[in-house]
Every structure is written in C-alpha cells, then in structure tokens.
C-alpha cells in the first residue's frame, strides 16, 4: 500500500533523509524508530507532502503521490498526525472533529442557497460520524468540552480523531504516546489495535521499545538519515547496527 523509493531530503548541508527505500507489508502495524534527529519526522513530512523531496518517489495504492499536495494526499486516504499536537482550543471536542471533515458542501456558499437540504444532510452525517469517533476514542463524555480544556493526552486522542474523520486507509502517527500518562497510553494502544483490526493501516514513530514490540509486526530503524534495519522488533533489538545507533548517542545512553 505504501512504497518509498530512494527518498532523499537535505536541509543546507545536512542530509536529513538519505536514500531511504522501504515498503510496508499489506497487513499489520509498522513502527519507525531511531535516535532523535535521525530523520523520522522528516520522512513522514515527505510521505504526506508537507516537504518536497530532493529525490526519489513515494507510492500509495500503486499511485505516485510524491509531488502532490498534503491536501490531495489526505483525500486519497493517507493521513498523519504531528509530533506537536494541533487541535482548535476554542471549539468543543465534537466541533473539532466536524471542522476536520473534508469536502463539506456547507462550505460552498452556493450550496447553502441552492441545496440547503443536502447541506443539512451532510452536516447530520458529519455530526454522527464525530460522535462515533469520540466513542472509539473514549472521549464521548467530553463531547461538548472545549478542546483547549482537555488534558494533553486527550488532545492527542482528539487529534487522532480529526484525521479519522477523513475515513483514511492509512494513518501515520508521529510519537503518539509522547508526553501522555500510562493509563492513557494503554487506552491509545487499544485504540490503535482496534483501528488496525478495522483494516486501517498504521505506521508509527515510537520511542517506547516495549510498545513497538507489542504493537508492530515490522520495525524500521533510522540513524543519521539512513535506514539501517528492517525486520521484526525482536530482531531489531539484537541487531548490532541498531544497538550501536542507540548506545552511541548520549541522549539515549541512559
């Protein structure tokens, strides 16, 4: 479903992503790990069209998506969350989801006047879908709470909800568990497993190795912009290049 071929991106003299080639299996959850600054978020930005590639190509469902805008890519069913959470703090949880829904007829002024019935119908559908998603995320009781008043972890769940509104085929999650409490992490893990069971493909950046081992059938490891390993999480832990990449850095030495 997702194929990355020889993808390269540099910032000035720094090779943030260096000739990365990888393919996701048709089923299961894939994990992307690596020390800080190894190029993981940049790779997600490149896949989803937020950064322009210097070289290489990305294919989703056998179509070349590199060069397309993020907006077109998400309409094709490939969506992502960000390392830093983005919700609309002055809207309620439910409104946040409704505002994230793509292609609302109500946004076109002509439709409001010429086909008010259709706009109403779409809005109702949207509202129902938002409630369904809040239920999946265990946030239904907070439906009418302002997003800015939710805990950081709940805001991260809500951000996931916003991308679910697009009815995606694949979701890229950038450090979904970073900074959230253990209880909410367990909830999130169950939610991710549930989405995968519903047939949504998941590719996630995650620092918590036990969590990667629990969730992922395949792990990719990056170091200094290059892909240095792909295989099972168990094999990753025993791979000498992977061990060296982690132990060689002060920020992971602990």
**Contacting residues toward ligand ADP, per CB under 6 A:** 11, 14, 16, 34, 36-42
Cβ nearer to ligand ADP, comparing 32 with 163:
32
- Judged by beta carbon distances under 5 to 8 A according to partner kind, the member of ligand ADP, Mg ion, none in contact with residue 124 is none
CA distance 226 to 236: 15
Please identify, using beta-carbon distances, which residue of 73 and 174 lies nearer to Mg ion: 174
- Shortest separation between residue 13's beta carbon and ligand ADP, angstroms: 10
Smallest gap from Cβ 40 to Mg ion, in A, equals 5
Tokens 């450090």 identify what position? 175
Q: Report if residue 41 touches Mg ion, rule: CB under 5 A.
A: yes
Residue 14 is encoded by which pair of tokens? 């720094």
**Nearer Cβ to ligand ADP (41/187):** 41
In the complex, the smallest distance separating the C-beta of residue 34 from ligand ADP, rounded to whole angstroms, is 6
Assess 96 for contact with Mg ion (CB under 5 A): no
Does residue 219 belong to the site contacting Mg ion (CB under 5 A)? no
36 binds, among ligand ADP, Mg ion, none (CB under 5 to 8 A by kind): ligand ADP
If binding is defined by CB under 5 A, does position 187 make contact with Mg ion? no
- CA–CA distances in Å: residue 90 to residues 129, 148, 153, 155: 21, 6, 17, 12
Applying CB under 5 A, the site for Mg ion has a residue count of 2
CB-nearer residue toward ligand ADP: 41 or 101: 41
142 vs 206 by CB, closer to ligand ADP:
206
| 138/144 Cα distance (integer angstroms) | 14
């Amino acid at each position: 479903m997702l194929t990355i071929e020889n993808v390269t991106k540099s910032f000035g003299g720094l090779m943030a992503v260096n000739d990365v080639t990888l393919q996701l299996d048709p089923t299961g959850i894939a994990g992307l790990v690596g020390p800080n600054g190894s190029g993981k978020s940049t790779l997600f930005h490149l896949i989803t069209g937020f950064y322009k590639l210097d070289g290489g190509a990305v294919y989703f469902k056998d179509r070349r998506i590199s060069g397309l805008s993020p907006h077109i890519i998400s309409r094709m069913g490939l969506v992502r969350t960000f390392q830093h959470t983005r919700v609309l703090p002055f809207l309620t949880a439910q409104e946040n989801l409704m505002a994230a829904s793509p292609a609302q007829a109500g946004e076109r002024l002509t439709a409001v006047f010429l086909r008010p019935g259709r706009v109403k119908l779409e809005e109702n559908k949207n509202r129902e879908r938002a409630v369904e998603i809040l239920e999946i995320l265990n946030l239904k009781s907070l439906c009418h709470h302002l997003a800015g008043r939710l805990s950081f972890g709940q805001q991260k769940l809500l951000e996931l909800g916003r991308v679910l509104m697009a009815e995606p085929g694949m979701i890229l999650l950038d450090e979904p568990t970073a900074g959230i409490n253990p209880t909410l992490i367990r909830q999130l893990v169950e939610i991710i497993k549930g989405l995968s069971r519903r047939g949504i493909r998941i590719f996630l950046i995650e620092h918590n190795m036990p969590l990667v081992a629990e969730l992922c059938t395949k792990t990719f490891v990056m170091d200094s912009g290059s892909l240095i390993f792909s295989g099972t999480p168990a094999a990753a832990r025993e791979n000498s290049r992977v061990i060296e990449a982690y132990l060689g850095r002060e920020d992971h030495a602990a």
